[in-house]
Every structure is written in structure tokens, then in C-alpha cells.
Amino acid sequence: METILRPAADWELASFLAEATAARTPVEIVGGHSKARMGRSREPGAIISTHVMRGIRAYDPSERMITVQAGCLITDIERELAVRGQMLGFEPLDIANVFGGEPGRATIGGVISANLAGSRRLVAGGVADHLLGVSGVAGTGEIFRSGARTRRSVAGLDLRRAMAGSWGTLAALVEVTLSVEAIPDETATLVIFGLSEEIAIEAMADAARTPHGVTGTVHLEPAMAARLWFDRLREENQAITVLRVEAPANGTALRVERLKDALRAYGDMQLLDHEASLSLWHELRQLTILAHNDKPLWRITTRPSKAFQVVSGIRRYMAVDAFYDWSGGLIWLEVPEAADAGATEIRRVIASSGGHATLVRASDEVKATVDVFEPMHSGIELMTRRLKDVFDPAGILNPGRIYAGM
């Protein structure tokens, strides 16, 4: 039977992990289980659940920061912040829908470890940039902290940022302090129909270069757009390009006018008002349009100028459905079922165009045979192994979650 530890404090984690290191027991860290099917398959071992460490420890809206335990639900954090008109600037993603799971169970520890920032990442910082302080326990059982309850601090090596995207392979997080921002007073969305992918990427890049408060740029090909719950756009049966504008009170009208003017070469645009915009971008953030099937799903990051080249390069080998975010800097790509989920061709295209591709959704059989994360070049592998060996020399934390043998 699996051992499940539900620690309430760092010292419990510390003694458990120290023992696990000595005994070389593999340990998996689990928050809400929403990302359980991401990453490579893992060998079973002991489980650390952050279920008990789920409180909000300190929050002062005037300081624009919040301190929470690692198991705190994103929904709880956002509800608490919203009461005071604040939010997490990096717009964390809840990926549960992608796996047919129940949304609303994502924890802050999981979001940090999986580095899942949403559409606003286009202009805001990423997860790491919002981490003011962390405390955690390394695989060795050592309790550490990095940063402070201040907006700026420099002291030694930045272990805070190192936690983002580490997939629980370096440490178990205990408590984090995050910077928060004011929720914009007003939101509006410009919608352009029927643009080809190449033109849509240009339109998004042009929009993101203007000073008119653009905070999200997404393009959906018709097949993806057809899956939207948001009625008004679904029924158009065309590709849609949506541009979110956020502004202080009474500010969207002016910005929308100026943005429309700057983008007039791209044709007619529809405007979604505040409520409609919130609804649409909430849906996009929930990734519901990726929830409709079990087709293999890739998450690709690249330079926007290469996005079309990447997708059309892959399209030479297989039919794909694309959801572009970050002006093309992020591409969710659904591909047909295949023994390797298209990995061979996708990796070849990425190698030539540049970028990173992660296989997000696929069967365990497929994931066991391909590189799930972008293979490391030798220099990155060297640095990655050294970082890992310091925090977790026995390799007990989520072994094999990102890379085989690590």
C-alpha cells in the first residue's frame, strides 16, 4: 500500500524526506491531482499530499502581496483577492479540463511547479516573476527559504525562480509569497473573423505593440473556435482572432477606438463588452476547447515570428488543430492519434524552426516511448543535472517526471 503523508508543517516534510532520501524511496508530490497526467509516467512510491497545507497566511491588499501555503487552491486565493479588487497577474491556468478532470482543484504549488501562466503572460511576467518568496523542503530534507515579504530582494542564488517549472523534482513547496495586482476596471475584446493563421499572427503582433492596453491575443482555427461555449463566436464557423483590452474606469472605449484604427488593415471587427469579454477569456483560461477528445495534445512555445512556420511545418506531416496564445508565442496543438503522437515529425520541425514542445496529453504507452519534454542539449543537461543533484542527490522527488533518469 502506498504511503501517503499529509504534512501540516515544514518539519514534518523535512523528516519524511530525509528518511526517504536515506532509503531511496521515490516520492510524488500531489496537490489537486489536476496535472497528474502531465509529464512522463512515474514509478509508484510514497505520496506527499499538500491537502492540509492549504491556508492563506497573510494578506494585506495595500502591500499588494499574499502569502499562502503550497496546497492552497487557486480558486480560494482568487476569491480572497477579488473581494479586494485584486488578482494574480500571471492568470494561472487550470488544466483539469484537458484531461477530463474537474476544474477548481488546482493548487498554487502545482501551478508554480508546472509553470502554467495564462494569456496575460503576454504583458505580465510569468509565474517566476510573481514569486516574491518561497519556503520549501529539498529532497534531502533540508528546509530552505528564498526571497522575502517584499517586492524586491537580492540575496544569494535565486531559489524562488528555480522552483517555477520544476515539477516537484527539486523540492516540496511549503509556503509562497506572491505579488498581486489590481483587477482592471474594464475589459473589452475585439474580434476579427476569418483571418488566416499567418495574418492572424501578424495582427496579434501589431496589437501587442500598441500602447492601448492589449493584455491577451488569441487565435483559434475554425475547428477550435467551433468548440467554444461562448455562443456568439461559436456560431460564426470561422477562424477567430480575439484581442483583449483592459483599462481603468471609462478607458476601454478610447483604447478600443485607437486599437481598431491601428488594425484597420485587418478588416471589420466585432466588439465584445465587459461582461462578454470576461466570459470569453474565462473560458479560454479554463482550456475547455481542448477538452473535447483524447487526441494527443502538444504545448509549443516559440518566437511569434516562427509560429506559422512551426505549425505549417508540422501540418505537412499530419492534420492539426491549433489554439494560438501569446500572439503566437504559445501554441496548443491537437494532433491525430499515432504511435508516437507525432513526436518524430514535431521534434524535427521544432529543431529546425526553434522552440520547445511538450507532449501534454497522450496515453501512458505513448509517453513511455517518446520524449515528453523538449530534449535537453548537452549544456542545459549539464546545468539541469547539477541543479537537481544539489536539491535531490538521491533522485527521490518525482523521479522521471520530466526526464528519464532524473
Partner 1 sequence: MCVSDVPKWQLSYFYTLNKTSSSSVVAVIVGVRAAVRLIERRITTGEQISMIPAPTLNRATILRRNEFISSLQKRVPNGRVIGAEQDRRVYAGDAFMPYRAVPLAVVLPSSVREVSDVLRFCYEQGIKVYPRGAGTSLVGGAVGSEDGIVLCVSRMNSVLEIDTFDRLVSVQAGVTNDEVARAAVAKGLCYMPDPASRSASTIGGNIATDAGGARAARLGATGRHVLALKVVLIDGEVIDIGGGELEHAGLNVQALFSGGEGLIGVVVEATLRLMPPPAGIRLMLLGFPSMSGALSCAGAMSDAGITPRALELIDRQTAKVCEQFMPAGLPLEPEVLLAVEFEGESDELAEQSAAILRLADGYGTSQWLEITGPDEIARTWQSWGAALTALARLGPLRSTDIAVPPARLPSALAQIGEIAARYGLRGANLCRAGDGIIQSVLFYEPDDGDEEEGRVAAAMAEIAKTATEVGGAISAEHGIGVAKREMLELSFRPSDMALQSRLKSAFDPEWLLNHGKVFPLAEQTAAVAQPVQFGREQG
Interacting residues with partner 1 between 373 and 392 (CB under 8 A): 373-374, 376-377, 379-380, 382-391
Distances (CA, A) of 359 to 230, 287, 341, 369: 27, 16, 8, 12
Q: How many helices (H) and strands (E) does the chain have?
A: 13, 18
Q: How far is the CB of 388 from partner 1 (least distance, A)?
A: 7
Identity of the residue, 69 or 166, whose beta carbon is nearer to partner 1 in the bound complex:
166
Q: Which of 292, 313, 358, 400 binds partner 1 (CB under 8 A)?
A: 358
- Among the candidate windows 26-34, 335-343, 353-361, 363-371, which touches partner 1 by CB under 8 A? 353-361
23 to 62, contacts with partner 1 by CB under 8 A? 60-62
Closest to 27 (Cα-Cα) out of 365, 395, 402, 403:
395
Map grid coordinates 529546425 to a residue.
352
Cα atoms found within 13 Å of the Cα of residue 9, Cβ hemisphere only: 2
In the region spanning residues 81 to 120, those forming contacts with partner 1, defined by CB under 8 A, are 115, 117
What does the alpha-carbon distance between residue 360 and residue 139 come to, in Å, rounded to a whole number?
A: 25
Between 84 and 105, whose beta carbon lies closer to partner 1?
A: 84
Provide the grid cell at 85: 479588487
Task: Tell me how far apart the alpha carbons of residues 362 and 238 are, in angstroms, rounded to a whole number.
Answer: 28
Minimum CB distance to partner 1 smaller for 152 or for 316? 152
Residue choice 24, 151, 232, 264 for contact with partner 1 (CB under 8 A): 151
Q: Which of 13, 108, 138, 397 binds partner 1 (CB under 8 A)?
A: 138
Q: Which is nearer to partner 1, 1 or 378 (CB)?
A: 378
Partner residues linked to 324 by β-bridges:
219, 331
- Choose which of 16, 230, 324, 326 interacts with partner 1 (CB under 8 A): 326
- Residue 207 DSSP SS3: helix
- In this chain, which of 4, 8, 83, 148 binds partner 1, going by CB under 8 A? 148
Shortest distance, CB of residue 21 to partner 1, whole angstroms? 7
The residue from 205, 278, 318, 338 that contacts partner 1 (CB under 8 A) is: 205
Burial track 205-227 (b if 16+ CB lie within 10 A, e otherwise): bbbbebebbbbbbbbbbebbbbb
What does the per-residue mask of binding to partner 1 show for 233-272, with x meaning CB under 8 A?
---------------xx-x--xx--x--------------
Residue 160 makes contact with partner 1 by CB under 8 A: yes
Q: Is 278 in the site for partner 1 (CB under 8 A)?
A: no
Residues of this chain, 164-183, that bind partner 1 according to CB under 8 A: 164-166, 169-170, 181-182
Considering the rule CB under 8 A, would residue 149 count as an interface residue with partner 1?
A: yes
Nearest residue to 98 via CA among 308, 343, 402, 362:
362
Packing angle between helix 343-353 and helix 304-315, nearest 10 degrees?
A: 150
Q: Which of 117, 95, 100 is nearest to 38 (CA)?
A: 95
Contact by Cβ (8 Å): 169, 398: yes
* Nearer residue to partner 1 within complex by CB, 78 or 236: 78
User: Does residue 405 belong to the site contacting partner 1 (CB under 8 A)?
Assistant: no
Q: CB of 272 within 8 A of CB of 198?
A: no
Residue number with CB closer to partner 1 (254 or 339): 254
Total residues in contact with partner 1, by rule CB under 8 A: 93
- Residue 403 to residue 172: CA distance in whole angstroms: 18
